[in-house]
Amino acid sequence: MDKDGFNRPCIQPGITLPEDVSRQIAWSCPGLNVKPVQEDGVNRGVWGRLISLTTGYASDDSLRFNGATGGALSALQKYLLENGRVDAIVSVSSDPENPLLCAVSSFSDPTEVERRTGSRYAPSSPLQDIMAEIKKYNSFAFVGKPCDVSALRRAATLIPELKNKVRYYLSFFCAGVPSQNATSKMLEKMGLDDKNVVSLKYRGNGWPGFASAMDRQGKEVRMSYNDSWGKILGHRVLGRCKICPDGIGEHADITCADAWHCDEKGFPDFREAAGVNAIAVRTSAGAELFRDAVRDGYITIQDSDLSGSVLEKMQPYQAYRKKVLITRTLACFVTRGTFIRFKVWPALVNAIKINPLRHVREFMGTTYRVLKGRL
C-alpha cells in the first residue's frame, strides 16, 4: 500500500520477471487491458452484453438486511456452496487482524457467507495469492470488483488451472476504490481513533444502511451512506478508477448493483428501505445459475425484465461514464501517452448518445486532472 492509501502492484528491486510472466501480466492486468474475452448475450448499449436484466433480492431476510444492497450476491454464493456447485468461494472480507483492512481467503462453509456481506469501500486485492488459494479446492466461484474479474477471466485463458477451477465469476457495479486514508478520515469524522477500532462495516444492516464502527472501549458510532460514501469515500478513489472502462462488471457471469430510486435530477433516494438489487446476467453459465437460484428459492425476483433506460435512472453515473469513456481515454493518451485497451466500437456508439459539448468539457477536465497529477 502506497502513502496515498492505495494497493499498487510493484516488482521487487533486483527481480527480473520471466518472459512468460510478463506476457501474462500484459495480457491480464486491468490497468492495461480490459477487453472482454467472452461474448455471450446481446449488446444492450451502455450496459454491455446481457442475457437478462432484472431486479430482485436474497429471499433470506437476514442476507437481504445484512447485504450491501439486497444480498443477491451473497444468496448466489450460498446457493453455490449449499448445492455443491462449487467447493469454495474466493472473496474479500474484513481482515481478522485489522478490521480496517480487506483480506482475501477461500471458504467452503455456507454459513461463512453472511460474515462477508456488505461492501468494503477500501483497497482490496483478491488476486494477490490466487494461485496459492486455488490449490486448496477443486472448484471455485470468485467474487471481486469488475477489474479483478477482468484480470482473472483474462488470465484464465492463459493458465489452465484457473480455467479448470474457476467456475463462476461474480461481481458488482463499482464506482471506484477509495483510498485507505479515506477510511481513517471517515472514522475521524465519526469520532473514533482508527488505531482503536475493533469492528467496521461500511454498509449493510438496511439499504443503504449505515457505516458503523466500534472501538475497544465499546463506543459505537455510525454515519449515513450519504455522508460516508457521498462526502468522504467517493471523493478519494484511485486515479485508474476515474477512467475505468468497466465499472459494470462486463466480464462477470452475474453482476449486482443498487436498484436506487432516483428523483427527476437523478439523485438517488437514500431513505432506508428493504434492499433491492439490479441483477445483470451476462453469460450462459450465469443464466443457468440465476435460474436455479431463483427456482430453489434463494433469490426473489421483483421486476423480471428491467429496461436499460430504467437502469440508467437507477445508475446515472455508471451510464454517463460509459458515454464519456472514449473522451477521457483520449485525453489520457494525448497528455501522457497511456491507455487501457477496451472494445472501442461499443464505446464510440455510446459516445454519440450525449451532447458533443460534454465531450469537450470532459476532454478538458481530464487533461487538467492529468496535468495536475490528480489522475
Residue 72 binds to ligand FAD (criterion: CB under 6 A): yes
Contact 156, 127 (CB under 8 A): no
Q: Is the dihedral of CA 20, 22, 25, 26 positive or negative?
A: negative
Nearest to ligand FAD of 173, 290 (CB atom): 173
Residue 200 binds to ligand FAD (criterion: CB under 6 A): no
Smallest distance from ligand FAD to CB 221, Å: 21
- Distance CA(17)–CA(302), nearest Å, equals 50
Size of site (CB under 6 A) for ligand FAD: 35
- Among positions 107, 168, 169, 173, the unique one binding ligand FAD when judged by CB under 6 A: 173
- Distance CA(62)–CA(9), nearest Å, equals 37
Smallest distance from ligand FAD to CB 20, Å: 27
Chain residue whose CB lies nearest ligand FAD: 67
- Among positions 257, 311, 351, 375, the unique one binding ligand FAD when judged by CB under 6 A: 257
- Among positions 6, 79, 121, 290, the unique one binding ligand FAD when judged by CB under 6 A: 121
Residue 81 binds to ligand FAD (criterion: CB under 6 A): no
- Among positions 5, 48, 56, 118, the unique one binding ligand FAD when judged by CB under 6 A: 118
Window 12-71: residues binding ligand FAD (CB under 6 A): 67-71
Smallest distance from ligand FAD to CB 217, Å: 27
Residue 145 binds to ligand FAD (criterion: CB under 6 A): yes
- Find the part of the chain contacting ligand FAD (CB under 6 A) among 117-125, 183-191, 327-335, 339-347: 117-125
C-alpha cell recorded at residue 107? 471458504
Residue 92 binds to ligand FAD (criterion: CB under 6 A): yes
- Distance CA(72)–CA(170), nearest Å, equals 11
- Distance CA(354)–CA(254), nearest Å, equals 28
Residue 276 binds to ligand FAD (criterion: CB under 6 A): no
Nearest to ligand FAD of 171, 367 (CB atom): 171
Residue 172 binds to ligand FAD (criterion: CB under 6 A): yes
Nearest to ligand FAD of 147, 363 (CB atom): 147
* SS3 per residue for 204-252: ECCECEEEEEEECCCCEEEEEHHHHHHHCHHHCECHHHHCCCCCCCCCC
- Distance CA(184)–CA(100), nearest Å, equals 8
- Among positions 177, 293, 294, 332, the unique one binding ligand FAD when judged by CB under 6 A: 177
Residues that bind ligand FAD (CB under 6 A): 67-74, 91-93, 102, 116-121, 124, 126, 143-145, 172-175, 177, 256-258, 275, 277, 315, 318
